[in-house]
């Protein structure tokens, strides 16, 4: 393995023409240059210079290394500049995988502030629902995952991941306009046991079934869809009722749907996840900070 300091000194010797001249250029003593060149020759396993009278010339190995030295030093300089840019947040790439309602709310707010303060940091967006989005994080396909969990499901988080809680997202009930229970400020789940239901994504549906079982009934699920607009449109047409997180309703709300809180309240936890060793990556830490700030600004979730 080459020592970059030795390559720099070797290049100076070749350029200046002698050890003493290179020492003056570099601000070293001549013995220091001599010792570095001996160390470099030991690394390559062959002499790099040969004496010719009072001067010196490159051996065949020296000529070969000389052809590469400038390129090596240039690459090191570029690498140092890139590392400096990354650590000082002038550059960087962060891949964020989020479920749709987080992608429509927390992500834009966080990225707007990030773009204003750190325009060199590039964020790539991916969409995914948990638990698949968490598996993508473990596989290295993204750097940060936004996911949600339900307290009653006792879901395990892979031990190599760090969880950063962002907000608690309150669940609501969607009723068609004119529904008899729409006159109430809050609705008990047990009061809806005779209704037909529209259910959402697999994880939300699993929690919904769990909550219904807790109050003693199995819901009649007429439709299932991952599309939040489809869920609301089906409710608006009187084809059923639905349970939906408040985060969705903060940006997407059908005008023929009545939204009521659940009594008692039910919530899901929205968190950011990252591999533990990536918490100290500057660009990743910055995006996490902006996501936390965006979550703190949310009202009514």
Residues 189-218, buried b or exposed e (16+ Cβ, 10 A)?
beebeebbbbbbbebbbebbeebbeeeeee
What distance, in Å, lies between the first and last C-alpha atoms of the chain?
Answer: 56
Q: How far is CA 107 from the centre of its chain?
A: 11
Rounded Cα distance between 36 and 48, Å, is 12
pLDDT given at position 75: 79
pTM above 0.75, yes or no: no
DSSP letter (8 states) at residue 128: -
Rounded Cα distance between 13 and 19, Å, is 6
CB atoms within 10 A of CB 99: 23
Cα–Cα distances in angstroms (integers) from residue 86 to residues 35, 75, 145, in the given order: 35, 16, 21
Task: Provide the strand spans (E) within the chain.
Answer: 49-52, 55-58, 92-98, 121-127, 144-149, 161-176, 186-187, 196-199, 220-224, 241-245, 257-262, 267-275
Rounded Cα distance between 199 and 205, Å, is 6
Is 129 in a helix, a strand, or coil?
coil
User: Each residue's pLDDT tens digit in the chain (301 positions)?
Assistant: 678 889 899 999 988 889 999 999 888 999 999 999 999 999 888 999 988 777 788 999 988 898 888 888 877 776 665 565 445 555 578 899 999 999 999 999 999 999 998 888 889 999 999 999 999 999 889 999 999 999 888 778 888 899 999 999 999 999 999 999 999 999 999 999 999 999 998 899 999 999 999 999 999 999 999 999 999 999 999 999 999 999 999 999 999 999 999 999 999 999 999 999 888 888 889 999 999 999 998 854 4
pLDDT given at position 233: 97
pLDDT given at position 29: 92
């Amino acid at each position: 393995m080459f020592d970059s300091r030795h390559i720099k000194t070797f290049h100076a010797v070749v350029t200046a023409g002698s050890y003493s001249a290179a020492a003056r250029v570099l601000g070293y003593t001549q013995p220091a240059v001599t010792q570095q060149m001996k160390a470099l020759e030991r690394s390559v396993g062959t002499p790099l210079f040969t004496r010719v009278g009072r001067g010196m010339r490159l051996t065949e190995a020296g000529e070969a290394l000389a052809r590469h030295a400038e390129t090596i030093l240039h690459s090191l300089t570029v690498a140092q500049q890139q590392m400096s840019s990354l650590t000082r947040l002038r550059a960087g790439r962060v891949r964020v995988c989020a479920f749709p309602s987080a992608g429509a709310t927390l992500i834009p707010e966080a990225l707007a502030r990030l773009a204003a303060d750190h325009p060199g940091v590039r964020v790539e967006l991916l969409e995914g629902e948990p638990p698949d989005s968490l598996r993508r994080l473990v596989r290295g396909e993204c750097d940060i995952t936004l996911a949600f969990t339900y307290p009653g499901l006792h879901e395990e988080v892979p031990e190599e991941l760090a969880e950063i809680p962002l907000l608690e997202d309150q669940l609501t009930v969607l009723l068609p306009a004119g529904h008899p229970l729409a006159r109430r400020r809050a609705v008990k789940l047990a009061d809806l046991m005779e209704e037909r239901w529209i259910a959402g994504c697999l994880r939300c549906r699993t929690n919904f079934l769990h909550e219904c079982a807790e109050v003693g009934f199995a819901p009649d699920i007429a439709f299932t869809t991952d599309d939040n607009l489809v869920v609301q449109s089906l409710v608006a047409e009187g084809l059923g009722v639905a349970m939906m997180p408040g985060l969705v309703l903060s940006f997407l709300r059908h005008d023929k749907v009545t939204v009521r809180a659940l009594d008692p309240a039910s919530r899901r936890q929205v968190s950011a996840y990252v591999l533990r060793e990536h918490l100290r990556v500057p660009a990743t830490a910055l995006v996490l900070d902006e996501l936390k700030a965006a979550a703190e600004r949310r009202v009514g979730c």
